[in-house]
Structure 1
Amino acid sequence: MNLRILLATDAWEPQVNGVVTTLRRTIEECEKLGHEFHIIDYNQFKTVSWPDYPEVKLALGCYEEVRGIMLDYEPDAIHIATEGFVGLAARRVCQEFKLPFTTSYHTKFPEYVSARLPVPLSVGYAFMRWFHKPSGRVMVATPTLQKDLEARGFVNISPWTRGVDTEMFRPGLEPINGDLPRPIMTYVGRIAIEKNLEAFLKLDMPGTKVLVGKGPQLEELKEKYPDAVFAGPQFGDDLARYYCDSDVFVFPSLTDTFGLVITEAMATGTPVAAFPAHGPIDIIPGSGAGAINDDLKVAIEEALKIDRKNVRAYAEKFSWRACAEEFLRNLEPYPEPAKTKLWTKLRQLPRKMRRKKKETA
């Protein structure tokens, strides 16, 4: 059966991050399988920027419009990808009309907020538990994250793997780093406080540290670490060349739930060094494609010894098609009788809305 899927998300293009990449590639693979998507994202509404992070848009007051879009579309399944204002509006519609839906946990939102605002982690996780509690399935990228969330009181958690484009990210690309002193240690991602970049930048090691990306901490870190190379945001083949021309990819983040950049680097044959945090701890141990250690310097030194052919071979195990197929399986969290009621409920929505308007008139 080909599905009509409604996706609500606060993360979408032109943003460049792992959430957007995951959603876009999942949609592409699902569409190849014959499924249809209707996307509700922040671009469709009036927005304001997060105070210290202009790339993040907040769709304030979007509930009425989100409800209208959801009523006009007749989905077989509803997936809410983020916990922002678009996600909150879609969740409210589903709760109001008792529509089943699924969610995904892409970002360690409580840690993200606590890094910027004086908000205790306990408050952030209380909000996240509340948001995801009605979800038929909460999709997560790794077993470690699943165990962590279950220990924090989350329920209905299911795995949702990730993939990598092994055609774009491949070995043997033309060098891009010029005559920079080796070894070249590269980071790709947001230049932001939650990425723990100073744990990497402050290391006393020979060679060159290269950071690819942009973000609110960019100018501060440029001034503080003048010996590092800040290459700015890179895309497509140029991004692949930065991965490929590196001796080791360094992932210092403690707050990511997976880290797509890890598998992108591996696909070019570049080994990865990281802390034993969510994401790396599920991807790297036993892979022969990287090293993790509580001492990031040790992890880098160990990663530099790895055969790049083994790294590429490991990356080839990741598939966006497998990611899409797992996503589709997760859209069916309810017993068959409950799922057949979804169409009935959706068809009754316009009638319920008209009745509600008459009652309040």
Structure 2
Amino acid sequence: MPPGAPARILIVSDAWLPQVNGVVRTLSVVVQHLREGGDVVEVIGPDRFRTFPTPGYAEIRLALAPRRRLARLVAEFRPDAIHVATEGPLGWAARALCLKQGWRFTTSFHTRFPDYVHARTGVPKAWSWALMRRFHRPSAAVLVATPSLAREMAARGFTGLAPWSRGVDLDRFKPAPRAPWEGLPRPVFLYAGRIAVEKNIEAFLALDLPGSKAVVGDGPQRAALQARFPQAHFTGRLENGKLAAAYAGADVFVFPSRTDTFGLVLLEALAAGTPVAAFPVTGPVDVIGTAPEPVGALDEDLRAACLAALETDRAACRRYAEGWSWAACAARFRETLTPAAS
């Protein structure tokens, strides 16, 4: 959308409050910034519909047969611009409505569903990627979080790709006394996020590392991993200041995922002054690998990355995180929007 007068912006997303994940975090912060800038923003999520549990994620609910009610809600809001954030039932319904009405819209690619579906069901990734291409093909712009992801998607036949980076709350996540892990042998290697198969947490927990391993978060794989790795310290989900303190108190943040499209937790850890160890894949290569000074270590040998990250200057981590702005993220999102009516 061109700068100037406030716009009526509609976001349709299968991921929305009260869910807790990176997509919801990104959208909620962007919505806040847009509203503070004068735009009228409406988010239509599953909370407005009858829902059913996502297979394998019972706590995440998806809208059931949303087309008729969605059409009514969109008509009542009268948007100037429409963004379809996800490829779930609401996303497909919004896409169909826009095509029927001749409205232009943008989309974003947040989640590697082909990898997730393959990990759970064995469905060939090529089938899911074909479905993803079909979903995004009519979009005026497909927002992607990192340059490496954009290159991969272009190679897979996606078009209209537009960069849309991320930010971090520097007031919430900041260096602090390293007390939260008192009693655990140092160094403390921390993972924080969903505990699910696609996060590859086992690759971290199986490492032969000095000190202690800590896992913050919850998810369908927690019980199994906790039983298999009893020496690791599992806290469950931490909220508010406790999560920020957990980051600041760790010696290294370990990001074992090979499938995330970005990883907001990377920036949160760095803002707390904690270096990152990860595989050299999309997300880490775009965040850790582009820093002007070392803020962690990337290696196909994750143990080697963890040990190397211990040598990182924590002040450098914070300095680098200070360059990632949610305000810039929101501004970029708005720039990519296109008027719904031609």
**Structure-1-length-normalised TM-score:** 0.91
**Distance across 2 between alignment mates of 1:260 and 1:238:** 17
Contact 2:9–2:42 under 8 Å retained in 1 = yes
Contact 2:145–2:261 under 8 Å retained in 1 = yes
**Distance across 2 between alignment mates of 1:251 and 1:132:** 29
104 and 286 in structure 1: CA distance in 2 versus 1, 3 angstrom threshold:
closer
1:291 to 286, 297, 306: 297
Structure 2 letter corresponding to 1:319: S
Q: How far 1:39 moved relative to its partner?
A: 1.0
**Aligned: 1:243 with 2:244:** no
Determine the structure 2 residue equivalent to 1:169: 173
Structure 2 letter corresponding to 1:260: L
Determine the structure 2 residue equivalent to 1:155: 159
**Distance across 2 between alignment mates of 1:53 and 1:73:** 31
Determine the structure 2 residue equivalent to 1:259: 263
Determine the structure 2 residue equivalent to 1:282: 286
Structure 2 letter corresponding to 1:160: W
Structure 1 letter corresponding to 2:181: N
Structure 2 letter corresponding to 1:219: A
Q: Secondary structure at the match of 2:120?
A: coil
| Structure 1, unaligned runs of 5 or more | 333-338, 346-361
Structure 2 letter corresponding to 1:171: P
286 and 42 in structure 1: CA distance in 2 versus 1, 3 angstrom threshold:
closer
2:320 to 314, 322, 339: 314
Q: How far 1:286 moved relative to its partner?
A: 4.4
Q: Secondary structure at the match of 1:115?
A: helix
Determine the structure 2 residue equivalent to 1:325: 331
2:7 to 3, 28, 31: 3
Q: How far 1:60 moved relative to its partner?
A: 1.7
**Aligned: 1:201 with 2:205:** yes
Determine the structure 2 residue equivalent to 1:301: 307
**Distance across 2 between alignment mates of 1:226 and 1:319:** 38
Determine the structure 1 residue equivalent to 2:128: 124
Q: Deviations over 1:96-127 (max 9, x none)?
A: 11100000000111101111112110011000
Q: Deviations over 1:82-104 (max 9, x none)?
A: 00001111111001111000000
Contact 2:270–2:320 under 8 Å retained in 1 = yes
**Distance across 2 between alignment mates of 1:164 and 1:56:** 24
Determine the structure 1 residue equivalent to 2:63: 59
Q: Secondary structure at the match of 1:88?
A: helix
Structure 1 letter corresponding to 2:13: T
Q: Deviations over 1:233-256 (max 9, x none)?
A: 011100000000000000000010
Q: Secondary structure at the match of 1:11?
A: coil
Determine the structure 2 residue equivalent to 1:42: 46
Q: Deviations over 1:287-331 (max 9, x none)?
A: 221111000011111110001001100000000000000001110
Structure 1 letter corresponding to 2:219: G
**Aligned: 1:101 with 2:105:** yes
In the alignment of these two chains, the number of paired residues is: 336
Contact 2:178–2:250 under 8 Å retained in 1 = no
Q: How far 1:174 moved relative to its partner?
A: 5.8
Determine the structure 2 residue equivalent to 1:134: 138
Calculate the aligned-residue CA RMSD, in Å.
Answer: 1.0
Q: Secondary structure at the match of 1:116?
A: helix
**Distance across 1 between alignment mates of 2:177 and 2:154:** 42
Contact 2:15–2:86 under 8 Å retained in 1 = yes
| Structure 2, unaligned runs of 5 or more | none
Q: Deviations over 1:213-247 (max 9, x none)?
A: 00000100010000001110011100000000000
Q: Deviations over 1:49-77 (max 9, x none)?
A: 12321122121211111111111111110
**Aligned: 1:189 with 2:193:** yes
**Distance across 1 between alignment mates of 2:198 and 2:23:** 16
Q: How far 1:142 moved relative to its partner?
A: 0.2
**Distance across 2 between alignment mates of 1:173 and 1:86:** 44
The percent identity for this pair of structures is 48
**Structure-2-length-normalised TM-score:** 0.96
Q: Deviations over 1:163-183 (max 9, x none)?
A: 000000000246211210011
Larger Rg: 1
Structure 2 letter corresponding to 1:244: A
Q: How far 1:200 moved relative to its partner?
A: 0.4
